Amino acid sequence: MVVDLRKCVRCYACIAACRIEHFLPIGVSWPRLVAMETGGEHPTVSTYSVRCNQCHDAPCVEVCPTGATQLRDDGIVYVDQDKCVGCRYCVIACPYQNRTFLSKDKDKGFFPGRVVTDFEKAGKELYPHTHGTTEKCNFCMERIDAGLARGLKPGIDRDATPACVNTCPAQALTFGDLDDPDSEVSRLIRENQGFQLHPEYDTDPSVYFIDGKIGVSDEPSETSTKEEEPVLA
């Protein structure tokens, strides 16, 4: 996935789309908007749309004692909630803070103690969430798998593409095959010097960002690569 920060208008449409697609409890959000100070004499704030980076060398996969967190052949990292025991090793190991432990406190309902909405009732049937397990973005792998079974192409056909990408009104999100040099994501990364968050972690994320700042000089500027402690926007 490529996130073009030049186009992102911080409308939260991607977050809403994800909540609807996965029937997320009110206290859980897989994609997030985080605000970070960029430094300088007069610090400014830059807002990033972040989600699980689907790392090729994912620390969360390495530390999971039960094999609940797995890396698919297509590069998607997912959690098998039937195997997760809630040890939260993966939460600690993730250097990007993109995992959530689903406790009862985070799943009190939209109107606690008053009414269970039809949305919540449908979610318990269609996309149940298990208390005491960890969750995260899975690139809407169910949509991808269903689409591929129908001969559709992820990133091209909507029914095989993550919901956040389909919903983004500014077209700031692009999805596709990183292994294909002719794919749209590969072209965007190549032509705009797309970058990964914290490449020094050696996790090789599958999510790239474009901000229009890197590439002005031969070396990346400190303000475009240094990420301070994120604060939820």
pLDDT digit string (tens) for the chain, length 233 residues: 999 988 998 899 999 999 999 999 988 999 998 876 656 565 566 677 899 999 999 999 999 999 999 999 999 999 999 999 999 999 999 999 999 999 988 898 999 989 999 999 999 999 999 999 999 999 999 999 999 999 999 999 999 999 999 999 999 999 999 999 999 999 999 999 999 999 999 999 999 999 866 443 334 434 334 444 444 43
What tokens appear for 191 in the block?
């032509």
pLDDT, residue 113, reads: 87
How does DSSP assign 108-151, residue by residue? Answer: S-SBTTTB--HHHHHHHHHS---TTEEE---TTHHHHHHHHHTT
d(Cα 54, Cα 207) in Å, to the nearest integer? 7
d(Cα 51, Cα 49) in Å, to the nearest integer? 7
Question: CB within 8 A of 59, min separation 6: which ones?
Answer: 90, 93, 94, 95, 203
Strands 2-4 and 231-232: unpaired
Note the maximum CA span of the chain. 59
Q: Which DSSP category does 115 fall into?
A: B
Say which amino acid occupies 166: N
Q: Which CATH architecture has domain 2-232?
A: 2-Layer Sandwich (3.30)
DSSP SS3 for 62: helix
The helix or strand, by DSSP H or E, that contains position 37, with its residue range, turns out to be strand 32-37
**Residues 25, 223 contacting (CB under 8 angstroms):** no
Q: Which residue, among 146, 169, 165, has the nearest Cα to 156 in the 3D structure?
A: 165
E-only strand ranges, 149-212: 173-174, 208-210
- pTM, whole model, 2 decimals? 0.84
**Residues 102, 132 contacting (CB under 8 angstroms):** yes
As a residue count, the chain comes to 233
